[in-house]
Structure 1
């Protein structure tokens, strides 16, 4: 039996192959059409029945979380690896910018980011924990106000991602927008 998604029983080999085909097809379709792309189209592209897709991913958020999982794990590992080279403020700025870059990779993901980040997949859990660690580190040094939460950071990433997505802003302005937000939550 193949490795299972987080919290599930191990998958039979055919079920694991179907899951992988669904994820690969979804990645392509969502990149082309955005996060509200048809599940029917994803199932057709994966060459599985719509029931198989819904059995593996009962909600759009569960599919988006599964697609995001590896990227979010990598983002969290990268953040931890550079910890000793960056100040607490620079670390949280870099992480937030990279999270925005991830979100805008899949047009439409921003609208579901809050639910996706709470889905409990390993990547979502790791990125929330890394955000919490970075935030506490910045708060402990007095760089960020104590009343700022991880959910506030997710809200900021969502807002910046939506702005880029909806107004066609050049993604190179991401760091400017992250700076504006983080300057706004700086401890005085």
Structure 2
């Protein structure tokens, strides 16, 4: 019997068990945990896991979906309250913190964001929107691209992963990022 999402009940239950097991395993052991361990923890075969999530990045995207949706929604909600630079900075700081939830997620952030989940699409759209808004307000350089931003967010997230004390410095590291992307008055 299928439900409105098109998955049979047993397939939906397997998917939910895989996501719950992956979330727990990623939190405990990082994003590099063997997917066989995730499947075993979920009580499914590795083939079942790969049918639902053909790549590690697809599984990471699915486990991050709700957090990414919430991050994008929070950013949109405060847009009217913050100027373009502050709005983008706040978004980037939250993205770094969300990327640092699972050890090793940062290394594949760019690929994860291409997975097409609602959360990944929301993060991508919001980042591009805030980047354009900052460029139109002349507070962010026009030569900065979405890919540039993701590369630097990845670098900051990797630094946080490598040194727990860096987590307290996320705001400072994002400020350094902003110094680099800030629009400068022409000479």
TM-score by length of 1: 0.94
> In the alignment, is residue 167 of structure 1 matched against residue 168 of structure 2?
no
Equivalent positions of 1:81-120 (< 5 A) are 81-120=77-116
Q: Which string of whole-angstrom CA distances, capped at 9 and with x for unpartnered residues, describes residues 12-47 of structure 1?
A: 111011101100000000111111101111111111
Post-superposition CA distance 1:59-113 (Å, at most 9, x none)? 1011001111111111111000001111100000000000011010011100110
2:159, 2:166 within 8 Å by CA — same for their partners in 1? no
Q: CA RMSD in A?
A: 1.0
User: What displacement does 1:3 show?
Assistant: 5.1
Find 2:178's aligned residue among 169, 178, 182.
Answer: 182
Partner of 1:2: 3
- SS in structure 2 at match of 1:135: helix
What's 2:64 paired with? 68
CA contact (8 A) 1:116 1:124 kept: yes
> SS at 2:73's partner residue?
helix
Kept in 2, the 8 Å contact 1:65–1:124? The answer is yes
2:7 equivalent to 1:11: yes
Conserved 8 A contact 1:163-1:169: no
Q: What pairs up with 1:52-67 in 2 under 5 angstroms?
A: 52-67=48-63
Candidates 17, 21, 28, aligned match of 1:25: 21
- Structure 2 distance, partners of 1:178, 1:118, is 23
Matched position secondary structure for 2:18? helix
Query: Within 2, Cα distance between the matches of 1:176 and 1:132?
Result: 22
Q: What are structure 1's unaligned runs of at least 5 residues?
A: 5-9
Number of residue pairs the alignment of both structures matches = 183
Secondary structure class of the residue paired with 1:170: helix
1:102, 1:185 → 2: CA distance? Answer: 21
Moved over 4 A (4+): none
Separation in 2 of the partners of 1:58 and 1:3?
A: 22
Distance in 2, matches of 1:68 and 1:89, equals 26
Measured after TM superposition, the shift of residue 177 of structure 1 is 0.3
Q: Normalized against structure 2, the TM-score is what?
A: 0.95
